[in-house]
Structure 1
Amino acid sequence: MKKIFIHFFSLIIYCHAAYAQTLPDITYQDYGYTKPIKKVTQLYYSIDYANDGSVKNLEEVEKVTQTFNADGNIESYENQSFLDESWAKSQSAYKQGRLHKQLWIYSYPYLNRTYTYLYDKQSRITEEKIRFKDGSKSHIKFRYKDSLLTEIEADIDGTQSVTERYYSAKGKLYKEIHRQKVPNEADIVTNYFYLEDKEILSFVEPQSYFYATAYLKGAMGHHFGEIKFKLIEDSTAQNKLLKGILRFDKEAPSDNLPFDLQSYSDQTLQAYKKNPKELKPYRMVLYLRDENNNIYTEAEVDLQARKIAGIGFFKTEFADGTTTGTTDFRHKKLHIFEAMLEQTKLP
């Protein structure tokens, strides 16, 4: 099951090699924490099971460490894989309270690079310049309208793309259109739709590579997991989804949607249970939160075996000196996740 859970280091390599085109995460809030953080250590374990379903073997696979400065901004980041000894490290430098430079160093030196940032008079990031070890350069430019980020233009290693962002009358992001330029071919156009700041759907024009995400909410009103589905093309479920997209695209700009994120998620899960051959679970993650709504343990699900493939334990040191969580494996948490998985009653 190691191949299923080993995703975090691959993700960080992907984000900096393929350059996910978003504003950089700077503050502890950007990273999803609800109160000032000093340090977060995350340790991920893979799980192998015996034939009787008991845990046969645990293995540490990845460690991630984030430190934040007194202003609540990211200071350094380190990721280490225990399987192949690969690693990635970053160091951030600030000027006048704004992120000025990030230096990224990898165990694969050809990936090494430096990011520098430019700002406008409103202290908004307008350009991210990237310089690689071989001296080549790339950039990402950010454009705004009425204080909202509306366009991201990138030229990375000769690959050009533009992402347009659309907001409702109340300033809520509801859609992105990403256009990647392909020499001598038509642009690759990917549409992303958002509800309550979370991605709910994406597809490549005209009608392919559909992915829908459902979010699981507990009795306390907090999300405790998410399931991403891939839709079979030319299916009844996809045709219904296309009609829903047209309605969403029409009503979202005026904040006139007849459903919220939870009702959308419930409808998606109901559609899956009725059409399990047309909606294929692609990825499922569960998590536990502390009293401040910070995630302190998360689990990756093996959707074929319907088992927990691995768990990440987080130790969080807050700026006020308090600490929550641990990086030690806790079997009790595994049992909690197993119960949560059972409660979802996937077909």
Structure 2
Amino acid sequence: MHGFIVLIYRDQRKGADSVTIREETEAIERQTFSRYATLSEHSRGRRGAEEQDPIRPCFQRDRDRILHCKAFRRLKQKTQVFLSPEGDHYRTRLTHTLEVSQIARTISRALRLNEDLTEAIALGHDLGHTPFGHAGERALNRLCPGGFTHFRQSLRVVDYLEKDGKGLNLSWEVRNGIITHTTGTWARTPEGCVVRRADHIAFLNHDIEDAVGAGVLDPRQIPPEATAVLGNTKSQRITTMITDLVEHSQNGRINFSPEVEAAYAVLKDFMYSTVYVDREAKREEKKVDKLIEGLYERLCGDPDLLPNFYLQIAYNEGVDRAATDYISGMSDEFATRLFVEWFVPQKWQVL
């Protein structure tokens, strides 16, 4: 169908100036997307002006930049829920991000929204997450003047920290979706709202699966008023929530039905009152506070330990900001290794 539209468009442009592949793709968007979708050609633009790519529309270009950046690669060794799990099948921040992207794209495609924009926001939404998941986030929030949240840090990563201070220069719509993906004000685009819903669908259902696999949750404990509406398995619940969202989203507003919204709230409250505070699953989190605090105080006390890029941040914005940026970007493994190097006595080797 899309190829047919392109042929028609090319035929209509015979005798006109040459048309780029990007312009052809933008023509497809105009003719196939919902009237509520965000068209690439209508983007509010970037913080720094750039020439358009001849092949990729702006949101596809943003998606590619995020996918190839260093912060995205580091997500593979950052905690999702369980700290440094030993099994092969527990989720990391990277697998969570990919699952959010898949769910969000499914919803956007069904609603005929802009999948490139949706995917770019989904892939970038957790780039600023700390090592050791929300335990690391809480530790930095306590230590950093002005506080710390991963969604604000995600925006700082794409705006400034990537590419040695140049940033990725993403479009306004992607940046808006990243900063609004968790709480508070909703995104100004339906695609950004889709990612926020997809994030909630993903983490809740996948955390249940990981908790069952870890032996900290018996699936029979899940409230029956939630399973009666959403389903008994992960697949059933995700399918129900996606289908309901597609059926009840209207006029560019991304909403569940009241019944599914209520069941989701029950399931979320259950997880926050049981799994997320489980003593066995969280017994290591007290150590995270000590580790993050140790790294932070050492770096603030001796800024020369910072890499050169972060030394520049310390000079321009203060050493506390530089220490926060450096620590928040670390993987679980790197933060642990650095702590051991600085604070754990090493064996004396006699030659």
TM-score range with shorter-chain normalisation? under 0.3
More helix by share: 2
TM-score scaled by length of structure 1: 0.26
More strand by share: 1
Structure whose CA Rg is larger: 2
Of structures 1 and 2, the one with the larger relative CO (CA 8 A, separation 6+) is 2
